Amino acid sequence: MKKIINLLLVVSLALMSILHGSSTTASAQEREPISVGILQFNAHGSLDENYRGFIEGLAELGYVEGENLTVNYVNAAAEVSQLPSLASSIEAESDYLFAIATPSAQALANTTQDKVILFSSVADPIGAGVVDTLEEPGRNLTGTTNIGPIEQQINQILLPLVPEAKKIGLIYNSSEINAQYQVDIAVPILEEQGIQPVIKTISSTNDISQAMNALVNEEVDGIYLVTDNYIAASMALVGEIGKEAGIPMIGGSNDMILENGLATYGLDYYELGVQTAEMLVRIIDEDLDPATTPVELANYLELVVNEDYANAIGIDPQEIYDLMEE
């Protein structure tokens, strides 16, 4: 069984978000029709949930697809070369734009400087070049970042589960700004604890099996997962290799862990989509300028434990729950 614990902080933040959203809720009959172009980088659980949360969040606030909302959706299937043409196609027929993942945000940013662009699942908007600062984006883009509580994931979950650890593995696509940004945060945290980071990079999903087996052969004591699109799309394979080797895999998104990892204290991509929808509606209702509308961190964090994975590698799931209660 796979079990999710929502912490009290999560509940309070979610209630605050609901209460805020209710103040702007209006029926579809009261809303002027709009069209939203959506560019999703590729298909995997986290980004799919991000999209679903955005659409359902808009519906809750009075923009219902098929009534007063036209959605122009395209998925780039991780084909970076296709992003410019896809971005141009939806920009031409949309009032507002929504980018799911960093490459999509960059492509839309290069397509128009006039239309409002919301983004989500972008860990490092500054490093990606889509905003000047989180507080004042300075351009026609703003949105939500998917950076998680990396220090908590490492120091409160991963390392307590492997107290004698000497090596922790990391695997990611080195060309993905999102992933590199998170690795740059994680490595010093590990090194401060006297842990040797063992890093394997990939350039495509075809490299994953070789990289994971290399980590196994180097006898890492655990693996810290960053929210990398290629890894997220291949968690079935990543998790099976880790599970067979008995390696705890911590971090990443909730969806990655639920598919085939051990545990994380992270964000819910559906809720992140809802939060981004609320931002768009505030921009419309209050005539806000995205250049001065701060980028938002996730309001909703939760502890997720994949009990099947835990049992498979000989860890009592309750041990993980207890760690977050200490």
Return the CATH number at 135: 3.40.50.2300
119 Ramachandran zone, left/alpha/beta (phi>0; psi -120 to 50): beta
Query: Model confidence over 295-305: pLDDT tens digits?
Result: 999 998 999 99
Residues 274 and 290 placed together within one structural domain of the fold: yes
Residues 261 and 294 placed together within one structural domain of the fold: no
DSSP state of 158: I
Residues 186 and 119 placed together within one structural domain of the fold: no
Q: How many other CB atoms sit within 10 Å of the CB of residue 292?
A: 11
Distance in Å from the first CA to the final CA of the chain: 24
How far is 135 from 85, CA to CA, in rounded Å?
A: 30
How far is 92 from 70, CA to CA, in rounded Å?
A: 13
Residue 308 lies in a domain: yes
Helices (H) and strands (E) in the chain, counts: 14, 12
Residues 311 and 193 placed together within one structural domain of the fold: yes
Residue 28 lies in a domain: yes
**pLDDT at residue number 326:** 65
User: Mean pLDDT across the chain, nearest whole number?
Assistant: 91
How far is 122 from 188, CA to CA, in rounded Å?
A: 21
How far is 280 from 49, CA to CA, in rounded Å?
A: 18
Residues 141 and 33 placed together within one structural domain of the fold: yes
The reported pTM is 0.81
Residues 104 and 91 placed together within one structural domain of the fold: yes
Residue 178 lies in a domain: yes
**pLDDT at residue number 15:** 41
Q: Give the number of C-alpha atoms closer than 13 A to the C-alpha of residue 109, restricted to the C-beta side.
A: 25
Residues 176 and 132 placed together within one structural domain of the fold: no
Residues 54 and 106 placed together within one structural domain of the fold: yes
Categorize the per-residue pLDDT at 325 as very low, low, confident or very high, splitting at 50, 70 and 90: confident
Residues 135 and 242 placed together within one structural domain of the fold: no
Residues 242 and 191 placed together within one structural domain of the fold: yes
Residue 1 lies in a domain: no
Residue 158 lies in a domain: yes
Residue 2 lies in a domain: no
Angle formed by the axes of helices 83-92 and 102-109, nearest 10°:
60
Domain that holds residue 258: 150-266+303-325
Among the ranges given (43-47, 110-114, 159-163), the one the predictor scored with the smallest mean pLDDT: 43-47
How far is 36 from 173, CA to CA, in rounded Å?
A: 30
Mean pLDDT of 176-203: 96
- What number of residues does the chain have? 326
Whether 1 shows a pLDDT value over 60: the answer reads no
Mean pLDDT of 183-208: 96
Mean pLDDT of 188-213: 96
Residue 6 lies in a domain: no
pLDDT, greater one: 15 or 296: 296
Query: Model confidence over 126-163: pLDDT tens digits?
Result: 999 999 999 999 999 999 999 989 999 999 999 999 99
Residues 181 and 318 placed together within one structural domain of the fold: yes
Structure tokens that stand for 313 in this block: 């590698």
**pLDDT at residue number 316:** 97
Whether 20 shows a pLDDT value over 70: the answer reads no
**pLDDT at residue number 8:** 34
Per the structure, the count of domains in the chain is 2
Mean pLDDT of 262-270: 93
Q: Which residue has the tokens 């509606």?
A: 281
Mean pLDDT of 167-191: 95
Residue 5 lies in a domain: no
Residues 210 and 69 placed together within one structural domain of the fold: no
Contacts of 123 (CB under 8 A, 6+ apart): 102, 145, 146, 147, 177, 178, 179, 181, 182, 227
Mean pLDDT of 228-255: 93
**pLDDT at residue number 27:** 64
